[in-house]
Amino acid sequence: MKEVAQEAYRDKLATVDSKGKRIWIYPKKPKGKYYDIRKYVSYFLFLILFGMPFIKMNGVPFMQFNIPKSEFIIFGIYFPPQDFHLFVIAMLIGMVFIVLFTVIYGRLFCGWICPQTIFMEMVFRRIEYWIEGDYKSQIKLNKGPMSSNGKIRKKVLKHTIFILISAFIAHTFLSYIIGVDALWDIITSPVQEHWKGFAAMVIFTGMFYGVFAFMREQVCTTICPYGRLQGVLLDENSLAVSYDFVRGEPRGHLIKPRKGKKSDCKDGCSTCKKNDSNCPADLLKAELDKINTIEPVKGDCIDCDLCVKVCPTGIDIRNGTQLECVNCTACMDACDEVMIKIKKPTGLIRIDSYNAITKGVRSLWNSRVAAYSLVLVLLIGLESFLFISRSSIETLLLRTPGMLYQEDKGVISNLYNYQLINKSNLESEVQFKIKNFDAAVIEFVGQAPITQSNKISEGALFIKIDGQELKSRKTTLTVEVFADGKLIDETKTSFIGPRK
C-alpha cells in the first residue's frame, strides 16, 4: 500500500484532488542564485517585448504581425501574402529548433523564456507577495472572513493592479498586430469610431487577466501541449531539473541539537568514587557526540519538503521528471540553501541528465540530435536561398476576367489587370516590356505605375500586337518588369487572338 501511495502522483495532476477539484497552489516565495538570474533574464525580455513595437527602420516597424491582412514585417523587412511560403518554412524552422532544444535541454524554455511563466512568476506573483505576503499569509488571508486583516482592501488592490497590467500587456500585443500608430489612433479616438479595436482590447485584457489571476499554472499543465510532448522528446541524455536520487536516497531527517540533562554527579571529578566507565559526565558527552545533523546511514536529502513548497506547479521533483515541471529552478535554489546550512555539497537538485546521475556519463550528442540538426540546417538553407532569391518587386499580371480580345485595323489588344507588390523600402517607377514580341505595345489605363514602399499597387493595361505576328489563337507572352531601369522580375501571361 505504501508503494501505491508513493506512485499516486503518476495517476493525477498535483493541482487536482481525488474528486477532480482544483487544488490552489500557494508556492513559497523563492530566492537564490538561479532566481536572481531569472529576474535579470526577465528584465531583458521585458525590454525587448515592450520596446520593439516602437522601433522603426526606414519608417516601417521593426517587427509587426498583421494577421488579418496576412502581412508581416520581420526585422524591418516586408513580407506580403505572396511570401507566405517563407513564413511556413520559418514556422517549421521554429518547430524543429524547439524540438532540438528540448531533446538537449529539456523544458528549460518554459521556465526561463515563455511569456506565460515570465509574466506569472516575475510580475503577477511578485505583486501578490508584496500585497498579501508569503504563502502562509496568503493561506491565512484566503481562509479568513472578508472582514479580517484588511482582506477586502488587499484583494481589491491586487486585482485592480492585475487588470491594469493585463490591459498594458493587451495593448502591447495588439501593437504587434496593427502597429503603435494605429493603436494610438484607437486609444485617442472616440469608441464608436474604432469599436472593433476597442472590443479587441477588452477581449485581450480579459483573457490575460483570467490567465494570470485565475488559470495560472493550469495553462502549462492542461492547455499548453508542450509539456505532454516531453514523453516523446526527452531521453536519458536530455538535460532537465533533476533530483540526484543516488546521492539523496534513502532520505534522512534533520536532528536538531537539544540540551542534554546535566550530570547528577554532586561530587567533583577529583573525588569521584564511581568506576570511570560509568562516569555520568562521560556518558552524557558520548550521547551528545552521537547527535549528527543527518542520520549517518541516510542520503543527503533530509526530507524538508522545501523543494515542494517553492514549486509553482505543486509537484515533488524527487518523484522524477513530470509534465508539470517547467524547469524554473526554484527547487534548486531551495535545496542548495538547505545543503549549505547542513554543510553538504550543493546540487542535490540540479540541471542534469538521467545518465549523468546514474552512470556519471554526460553526452548531449546522439543520433536523434544529429538527425534534428541536419533537418534544421536544411530548412535554414532552403529559407535562406528563397529569401535571397526573392525579387524586391513581385508582379502578378492576369487577363481581365470576361474579356476576350479587341481588333482594330488588324491590331489585336487584350486587357490585363496587374498587381505590383513592393517588398522594399524604396519607391520605384515601373516599366513593362514584352520579351518575345519586340513590336508589342503596352498602354496603361491611367498613369504609369509608381510603387510605394511596402505597398501593393494595382491597375490595368492593354497589350497590343499586330495580328499578323500571331501564329495561334493563344500565345504565351514573357513580360519583363523594370524598376528605375533595372530588371527586377519576369512573369508569363497568355494573349488571346482570333482563330488561325
pLDDT digits (tens, 9 = 90+) for 204-221: 999 999 999 999 999 998
Give per-residue burial for 446-469: e unless 16+ CB within 10 Å, then b: eeebebeebebbebebebbbeeee
> What pLDDT does residue 24 have?
93
> What pLDDT does residue 292 have?
44
> What pLDDT does residue 291 have?
44
Place of cell 499516486: 8
> What pLDDT does residue 313 have?
93
> What pLDDT does residue 486 have?
85
Place of cell 552512470: 359
> What CATH superfamily classification does 393-496 receive?
Immunoglobulins (2.60.40.10)
Distance CA 419, CA 401 (A): 15
244 closest CA partner among 297, 310, 293, 300: 300
> What pLDDT does residue 2 have?
42
Q: What are the per-10-residue average pLDDT scores of the chain (500 residues)?
A: 53 80 93 96 96 87 85 86 88 93 90 94 97 94 86 95 97 92 88 86 95 94 85 87 93 64 54 55 49 61 94 93 91 96 94 92 87 96 92 86 85 92 84 84 86 85 88 88 85 86
> What pLDDT does residue 9 have?
65
First CA to last CA across the chain, in angstroms?
Answer: 93
> What pLDDT does residue 255 have?
64
Q: In the chain, what are the domain boundaries?
A: 2-61+106-233, 393-496
> What pLDDT does residue 259 have?
52
Residue 479 · residue 493 · CB < 8 Å: yes
Strands (DSSP E) contained in 114-258 are 240-243
> What pLDDT does residue 150 have?
87
Distance CA 213, CA 162 (A): 7
The amino acid occupying position 212 is: F
Task: Classify 189 as helix, strand or coil.
Answer: coil
> What pLDDT does residue 273 have?
53
Distance CA 385, CA 382 (A): 5
The amino acid occupying position 161 is: I
The pTM (predicted TM-score) of the whole model is: 0.79
